[in-house]
Structure 1
């Protein structure tokens, strides 16, 4: 769960929680997702 705040060039995001299903844990999926989100936000 997360949100984006601000307008135009002055915006930022917050990620409150990332949940991974039990059978997919210990694969660093949450870390990979957060890295992807950070990379995408840097390009915006």
Structure 2
């Protein structure tokens, strides 16, 4: 999801059963690329 004039990204966890949204990160596109790469290599 792009925010801040499409300069930032949100990484969130959504728990549909309880209708909760947990914001994990709000980062730049560069940091988003690093985080997604990290999570692909190290799944939680």
Higher relative contact order (CA 8 A, sep 6+): 2
Which of the pair has more CA radius of gyration? 1
**Structure (1 or 2) with the greater helix fraction:** 1
TM-score (norm 1): 0.36
